[in-house]
Structure 1
Amino acid sequence: MKTGSAGLALVAAAVFCASAVTQSRAQAETPVLAVAEIQYVDTSGEVMDQSADHFRRLREFEASLRTDLAASGKVQSVNLDCPPNACSIGDIDADQLLGMAQAAGAGYLLISSFHKMSTLVQWAKFDLVEVKSRNVVFNRLVTFRGDNDKSWRHAESFIVRQILDHEDQ
């Protein structure tokens, strides 16, 4: 009877250890992503100054990207060690951003830039760069209509799906 209990305890311990190893491997295999701040250019020529709204929407867009990608469980997010509001491809060159991503433990860096062409049209460019090889492994150039919170949230949801679909391939 004692031998049976000991055997059962060993089996339970083996299952527990195997589960911990599997979980550890799954965590180790989750891609680690750093998201740089988004560069923004407005050449729309609009009379009304919307720079404060654009700045707020950019920071919300970046935060939502990080949160939504990490919430998927397919990507782990890390922060870059940059000065606040000076961490976009317009502020720092790509090599420096990649170095910061590597220092943060990221395997990938998402670099983005937006260009507001007119009152209704914005272009958004996204490059996902593998830090080690410095190769672009995913890139998208998308347009989105509107310049309000709803259109920006819609664009963010779209690009998150694009990135996650890319990760599935």
Structure 2
Amino acid sequence: MRCIFLTLAALVFAVPAFATTLGVMPVKMLDTSGEVTDQSIAHGKRIDAVKKALERDLADRYSKIVMIPAQDVAAACPVEEPQCLLDIAAATGADKALFVSIVKTSTLIMRMYVQVVDVPQRAVAQKRELNFRGDTDESWRRAERFLVRNLEAP
């Protein structure tokens, strides 16, 4: 009897309680600050860092994370209509799709708009809007960590 219980317990703990694949769409950025200095290279590096951090920090919540390349989206959905984007996510096997858009409105104010969409149902499962101060590597890292802490498990 004890052997059966131990075997069942091992099976329960060996199989993840989740079986959800997350498709992470390319992170988008819009800079409306009007600053004279071209920060596109710095912003590109920060976007890459956010994508890597999301992949790492959400890995324990999903059975698989698929980072959907920007070039795939551009080729399949040049207008980026929602249904087309969800078709791409579905083609990768994603159950959920994560959309992140960052808007820089001034030197100090950044906003991060986030949606987690249930791909089969084509419905928004979660929505977050975050404000963060500063356009630095550290401010972006803090915003990403805050987002991950505040997203609900699948």
TM-score (ref. length: structure 2): 0.84
How far apart are 1:80 and its partner, in Å? 2.5
- Relative contact order higher in (CA < 8 Å, ≥ 6 apart): 2
Note if contact 1:115-1:124 (Cα within 8 Å) is conserved in structure 2: yes
- 2:62 aligned residue: 75
Q: Which runs of 5+ in 1 are unaligned?
A: 1-7
- 2:39 aligned residue: 50
Percent identity between the aligned chains? 34
- 2:26 aligned residue: 37
Structure 1 counterpart SS, 2:131: strand
Q: Which runs of 5+ in 2 are unaligned?
A: none
How far apart are 1:91 and its partner, in Å? 6.0
Give the superposed CA RMSD: 2.6
Note if contact 2:26-2:70 (Cα within 8 Å) is conserved in structure 1: no
Higher helix share: 1
1:55–1:110 CA distance, 2 compared to 1 (3 A) = same
Consecutive aligned runs of 4 or more in structure 1 exceeding 6 Å deviation: none
1:150–1:90 CA distance, 2 compared to 1 (3 A) = farther
The partner residue of 1:97 within 77, 80, 85 is 85
TM-score (ref. length: structure 1): 0.78
Structure 2 counterpart SS, 1:16: helix
Number of aligned residues: 152
- 1:20 aligned residue: 11
Higher gyration radius (CA): 1
